[in-house]
Amino acid sequence: MRITGGLRRVWRYVRSAPGTYVWLAVLFVTTVALHHMSPVAEERFLRARSTNLRELSSHPVRVLIASAMWIEGGHWVPYAVLYSVFHARVERWLGTVRWLAVCVLAHVVATLVSEGVLLWAIRAGVAPVSSVDAVDVGVSYALAGVMGVLVFRIRGAVWRYGYLGAVLVVYGAPLVVGRTFTDVGHAVGLLTGLVCGPVAAGRVRRTRNPKETAAVGSD
């Protein structure tokens, strides 16, 4: 009975965040597919679906979508945990449409800014010209955005600012130590989520307040 009850609770949680778990299912399938490729074939395959400078200049929409369907490195389980902790919670809070809007915005903005920084670095002679073909796929920019918007869901000033400080360290420290274009992308993704937070949280509060909804309808 306990096992059955636990499974029911898990299923209810999954059903409450359909977008998160459909995305995870897609990532599981694509990760399994990568494990069946040779290292050379995998690199060639992912490069064609990367949001690198060459592919963005030729097929921007296609690679922006395709790059979010693959995980470089083939480690799916950690993302399953992160999606359940962050994505599912934000989707349950904002609803699937607003959660997806935050994900898309963070993914697109972070990609364009980080690739713009890389282009500047190549022209300045700081980065090698071969970087235009770098493999750049994954879901981490969207994850950073969701982690940013989640700040506005946490109750209590101590917990909220403690969480904010933690994510700022997680995504800010690599900018000081590594300073790669992906580090820039993660930081931009986080900032995008933080910018979206007040708007998303405000809209949810308004739609869930029946008195305010009635007042607006009577005007």
Helix ranges (H only) for 67-219 are 77-82, 88-94, 96-123, 140-149, 157-177, 181-207, 210-218
Residue at token pair 């300045």: 124
Residue 135 near residue 46 (C-beta atoms within 8 A): yes
Residue 58 near residue 32 (C-beta atoms within 8 A): no
Query: ∠ CA(186), CA(66), CA(89), 5° rounding?
Result: 55
Residue 133 Cα distances to 115, 128, 156, 169, 193, angstroms: 11, 10, 45, 30, 28
AA identity, residue 154 = I
Residue 74 has what pLDDT? 77
Residue at token pair 């200049």: 57
The reply to whether the predicted model has a pTM over 0.95 is no
Class of domain 2-209: mainly alpha
Q: Quick one: how far is CA 81 from the chain centroid? A: 14
DSSP label at 180? -
219 residues of the chain, pLDDT tens digit each: 566 766 778 888 889 999 999 999 999 999 999 999 998 999 999 999 999 999 999 999 999 999 999 998 778 999 999 999 999 999 999 999 999 999 999 999 999 999 999 999 999 998 999 999 988 899 999 999 999 999 999 989 999 999 999 999 999 999 888 778 999 999 999 999 999 988 776 666 555 544 433 332 333
